[in-house]
């Protein structure tokens, strides 16, 4: 497809890289000439210097023949204007990044009136992911399918765990839990395992299960299953606002530490149930004074990655809190992963996943759509949820008879609200949603799982 990306910041660069890898014809637009040239040369895409809200600049980028325009500049208003012009000039699909909470309350109206295909709010999406993790403190990360009925839980096996030296095929009989381990990360290796695979402590595993079965498994392992009662958030940005609002609705006591006095006053009005503390969140004494030692959850959400990493390491040394670290840059992700920072959230990855999910859905040629897409294990694994809308080559045939490509695992089937952990005799029906995990990237349709 022909795709125009306006804005070459973190999200724009990530989209340019990933969408060009998937074979799309990409044109990037930004007012910063050097940045445009660097991305154009690095990812082999076309680059145009200029204002993306200008009709002449969009015309130069080929908007009249484009399939999709994605506006991810730092300005909500500019993004919306870019999409409006693209819709009028080329009639293409449009996606806008809109971050301001004021607009988020009116997003349905804006989307409909401007004819937007999709609106994405990175801070809100990141906060939602953080909230899911804090509901289930044993998890490193939680992704959901089938409108929350199926969970993909990422968990690091602790030392001395009952899972150490256990074969995957023995989990259902020994622990009496209907779960499926679909990915194992051990050191630098990522494996989609079979039933004979032996788990080891320090492995990071991805488990597909219903909420009830996941809870049962963690109870059997003796891992914490109750959510945090209180949380300290350092940084008072939009992500912190969305996260605090979510936690308060769950009955969690929230403290936010912010060093900008004006922002503290704003947050006090927006979040009257939260305790807003005016101070420097990197001040060790302040953190201890505010109860760091007894905190059950700690989120470092400042604008500086280095600060967030150091704050998390300090919190880890002083408490047993569930840790969340926000990281905007990914240049040092290998080092970051070695530091064991709890749950690390990359907002731009979350945004890119949502947009790529939409792009793939646009390309579908048969009766199924990508409902959900997650990129796991440093983008080496994809977990996808397909909605089977019409008859297709996978319908009505026992799974053991399907000629699947290698390194593809069917992990879950949602059949009329009934969550099925698939076996060899399971079949896929029209109307089902099907969860697939694979190391093959770029699947567009459920038929793509077949050889």
Q: pLDDT tens, position by position, for the chain (451 residues)?
A: 899 999 998 889 989 998 998 889 999 999 999 999 999 999 989 999 999 999 999 999 999 999 999 999 999 999 999 999 999 888 899 999 998 878 877 888 888 888 898 999 988 989 998 998 888 878 888 888 887 788 889 988 888 889 999 999 998 888 888 889 999 998 888 999 988 999 999 899 999 988 788 888 888 888 777 788 999 999 999 999 999 999 999 899 999 999 999 999 999 999 999 999 999 999 999 999 999 999 999 999 999 999 999 999 999 999 989 999 999 876 666 677 777 788 889 888 888 888 888 888 787 655 557 888 888 877 788 899 998 888 788 999 999 999 999 889 999 999 988 888 888 899 999 999 999 999 888 788 888 899 8
Two tokens at 120?
């994405």
Last residue of a domain, one of 120, 149, 168: 120
Last residue of a domain, one of 292, 316, 345: 345
Q: Tell me, yes or no, whether 55 lies in a domain.
A: yes
Kindly state whether residues 217 and 236 are assigned to the same domain.
no
Two tokens at 435?
């969860």
Kindly state whether residues 255 and 163 are assigned to the same domain.
no
Last residue of a domain, one of 345, 368, 392: 345
Chain-centroid distance of CA 149 in Å reads 17
Instruction: Supply the pLDDT for residue 367.
Output: 57
Question: Residue 78 sits in which domain range?
Answer: 2-120
Instruction: Supply the pLDDT for residue 365.
Output: 56
Kindly state whether residues 97 and 199 are assigned to the same domain.
no
Kindly state whether residues 341 and 373 are assigned to the same domain.
no
Kindly state whether residues 115 and 145 are assigned to the same domain.
no
Q: Tell me, yes or no, whether 354 lies in a domain.
A: no
Q: Tell me, yes or no, whether 352 lies in a domain.
A: no
Could you tell me which residues come within 8 angstroms of residue 434 by beta carbon, excluding any fewer than 6 positions away? 385, 386, 388, 394, 410, 412, 413, 414, 428, 446
Kindly state whether residues 46 and 113 are assigned to the same domain.
yes
Q: Domain total for the chain?
A: 4
Query: Rounded CA gap, 182 and 144, in Å?
Result: 14
Residue whose C-alpha is closest to residue 116's, from 139, 100, 92: 92
Q: Tell me, yes or no, whether 152 lies in a domain.
A: yes
Q: Tell me, yes or no, whether 278 lies in a domain.
A: yes
Kindly state whether residues 145 and 116 are assigned to the same domain.
no
Instruction: Supply the pLDDT for residue 368.
Output: 58
Contact between 245 and 252 (Cβ < 8 Å): no
Q: Tell me, yes or no, whether 351 lies in a domain.
A: no
Q: Tell me, yes or no, whether 350 lies in a domain.
A: no
Contact between 9 and 75 (Cβ < 8 Å): no
Q: Tell me, yes or no, whether 149 lies in a domain.
A: yes
Instruction: Supply the pLDDT for residue 158.
Output: 85
CATH of the domain at 24: 3.40.50.720
Kindly state whether residues 331 and 366 are assigned to the same domain.
no
């Amino acid at each position: 497809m022909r795709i125009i990306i306006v804005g070459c910041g973190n999200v724009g660069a990530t989209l340019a890289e990933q969408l060009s890898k998937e074979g799309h014809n990409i044109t990037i637009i930004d007012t910063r000439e050097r940045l445009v040239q660097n991305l154009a040369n690095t990812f082999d895409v076309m680059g145009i210097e200029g204002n993306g809200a200008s009709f002449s600049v969009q015309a130069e980028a080929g908007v009249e023949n484009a399939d999709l325009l994605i506006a991810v500049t730092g300005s909500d208003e500019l993004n919306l204007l870019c999409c409006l012009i693209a819709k009028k000039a080329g009639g293409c699909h449009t996606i806008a990044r809109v971050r301001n909470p004021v607009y988020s309350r009116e997003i349905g109206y804006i989307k409909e009136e401007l004819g937007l295909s999709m609106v994405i709010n990175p801070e809100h999406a990141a906060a939602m992911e953080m909230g899911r993790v804090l509901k289930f403190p044993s998890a490193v990360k939680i992704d959901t399918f089938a409108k929350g009925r199926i969970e993909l839980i990422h968990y690091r096996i602790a030392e001395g765990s009952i899972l150490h030296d256990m074969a995957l095929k023995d989990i259902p009989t020994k622990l009496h839990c209907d779960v499926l381990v679909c990915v194992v990360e051990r050191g630098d290796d990522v494996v989609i395992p079979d039933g004979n695979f032996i788990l080891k402590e320090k492995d990071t595993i991805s488990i597909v299960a219903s909420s009830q079965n996941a809870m049962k498994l963690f109870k059997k392992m003796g891992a914490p299953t109750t959510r945090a009662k209180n949380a300290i958030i350092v940084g008072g940005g939009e992500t912190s606002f969305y996260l605090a609002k979510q936690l308060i609705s769950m009955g969690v006591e929230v403290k936010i530490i912010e060093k900008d006095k004006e922002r503290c006053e704003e947050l006090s009005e927006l979040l009257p149930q939260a305790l807003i503390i005016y101070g420097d969140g990197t001040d060790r004494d302040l953190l201890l004074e505010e109860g760091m030692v007894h905190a059950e959850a700690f989120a470092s959400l400042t604008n500086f990655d280095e600060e967030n990493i150091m704050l998390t390491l300090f919190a880890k040394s002083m408490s047993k809190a569930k840790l969340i670290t926000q990281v905007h840059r990914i240049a040092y992700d290998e080092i970051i992963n070695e530091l064991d920072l709890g749950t690390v959230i990359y907002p731009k990855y979350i945004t890119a996943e949502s947009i790529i999910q939409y792009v793939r859905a646009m390309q579908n040629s048969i009766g199924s759509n990508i409902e959900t897409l997650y990129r796991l294990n440093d983008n080496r694994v994809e977990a996808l949820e397909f909605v089977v809308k019409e008859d297709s080559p996978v319908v009505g045939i026992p799974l053991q008879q399907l000629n699947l490509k290698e390194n593809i695992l069917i992990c879950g089937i949602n059949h009329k609200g009934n969550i099925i952990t698939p076996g060899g005799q399971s079949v896929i029906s029209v109307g089902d949603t099907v969860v697939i995990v694979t190391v093959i990237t770029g699947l567009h349709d459920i038929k793509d799982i077949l050889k």
